[in-house]
Amino acid sequence: MNILEQIYEINFNKVMFNERKTTIESNNTIILGPPKSGKSYLIYDYLSQFDTNKYLYIDFEDYKNNTKEIAKNLQDFIVQNKIEVVVFENFLFDIDIPKNLKSLIITTKQKNTIEGFDIIHLAGLDFEEYLLFDKKHQNSSNSFNSFLKFGNFPESIEYGENKKSLRNYEICKLYCDDQIQLEILFLLVKNGGEKKSLFQLFNSLKNEIKISKDRFYKTCEFFEYNKLIFFCEKYNQPKAIKKIYIHNHALLDIVSYKKNFNNLFKNMIYLELYKRYDDIYYLDNVDFYLTEQNEIVLAIPFFNNLISSMIISKLLTILENYKINKITIVTVNNEQTLFVGEIEADIIPFNVWAVSL
């Protein structure tokens, strides 16, 4: 049982971490999410409430941990040491689940469920969390510039600026088993903020690499299940082409020299909304429609008077057809109000809007 004895000595009480809005509340929980979104630190926070001799933490991606040996001896080791809590990181569901535990916490990329287990989808930092993590900048405007440029991975805050983009690229590779998966992920990233069907994307990719339609679709399904990509539907038109968003807006800058700031900015806003609302759609001329709130949200980084007149002409019919009672226009740094018909629209900078949700 040498491997389990070595693992058993791991002590997370000395690990420093910042608290997240998401916490583990169920004794039996499966945690999903993009790489480096903070799943392990969520577990460290959870384990801090237990005595170190009451838990066993096993990372199956640690090369030193022999899965066959662990599987053979695990249940006996748990009983002998009166272990109450077990953590399986990067679990492939290829060994039996231990019995008679107080708590079992699992992180995985696999599409598996276990009866009686809660599921947490942990995303990267939202902007409010980013402010708590960011100790380098003295105000929210400076933090916003960093968040905009380098994204929402918690660990990226600690990297030097010259290494952050490279680290974002390395993190993408962590979730891909081979170069083909990486090509699919980067294709989706390149189209973040765009309306594109999977059929269109597949046709463009098959001209670049040899790939089957079945594998392409299954990989996209895998990425969507693990919240690396999101497909935003057009309201009341589920068969219409969906808009693509990605789990970290800053990844758009690592796949192309061509900068599409509008798409990057829309992606930022989508991620903030996704953490708070279940009912996010788009409409013609409307970036985001929140049905339960009867609200529309527009992403307009650089607002001006010309845009103002165009908005009014495009939105009047929408307001009437969809019974809209709130309009929010998110910008980089503009702040004012605008009347669209009888509705007073809030024009608000992202760094103010994101912490007010």
Could you tell me which CATH class the domain 2-121 is placed in? alpha beta
14: confidence class by pLDDT, cuts 50, 70, 90: low
Q: pLDDT of 308-328, one tens digit each?
A: 888 888 899 999 899 999 999
- In the predicted structure, residue 347 carries a pLDDT above the cut 60: yes
Q: Tally the C-alpha atoms within 13 A of residue 95's C-alpha that lie toward its C-beta.
A: 19
Q: Compute the CA torsion angle 166, 168, 172, 173 (nearest 10 deg).
A: 30
Could you tell me which CATH class the domain 163-271 is placed in? mainly alpha
126: confidence class by pLDDT, cuts 50, 70, 90: very high
4: confidence class by pLDDT, cuts 50, 70, 90: very high
171: confidence class by pLDDT, cuts 50, 70, 90: confident
286: confidence class by pLDDT, cuts 50, 70, 90: very high
User: What pLDDT is recorded for position 315?
Assistant: 92
Q: Is 347 helix (H, G, I), strand (E, B) or coil?
A: strand
Cα 58-64-70 angle, rounded to 5 deg = 50
* Average pLDDT, integer, range 99-116: 92
User: What pLDDT is recorded for position 164?
Assistant: 79
Q: pLDDT of 179-193, one tens digit each?
A: 999 999 999 999 999
User: What pLDDT is recorded for position 15?
Assistant: 66
135: confidence class by pLDDT, cuts 50, 70, 90: confident
pTM greater than the 0.85 cutoff: yes
Which contiguous run of DSSP H or E holds residue 308? Answer: helix 305-322
CA-CA distance, 124 to 333, in Å (whole number)?
23
Q: pLDDT of 204-248, one tens digit each?
A: 999 999 999 999 999 999 999 999 999 999 999 999 999 999 999
Q: pLDDT of 25-76, one tens digit each?
A: 999 999 998 888 999 999 999 998 899 999 999 999 999 999 999 999 999 9
- In the predicted structure, residue 298 carries a pLDDT above the cut 80: yes
Q: How do beta strands 286-290 and 295-299 pair?
A: antiparallel
**So where are the chain's domains?**
2-121, 163-271, 276-357
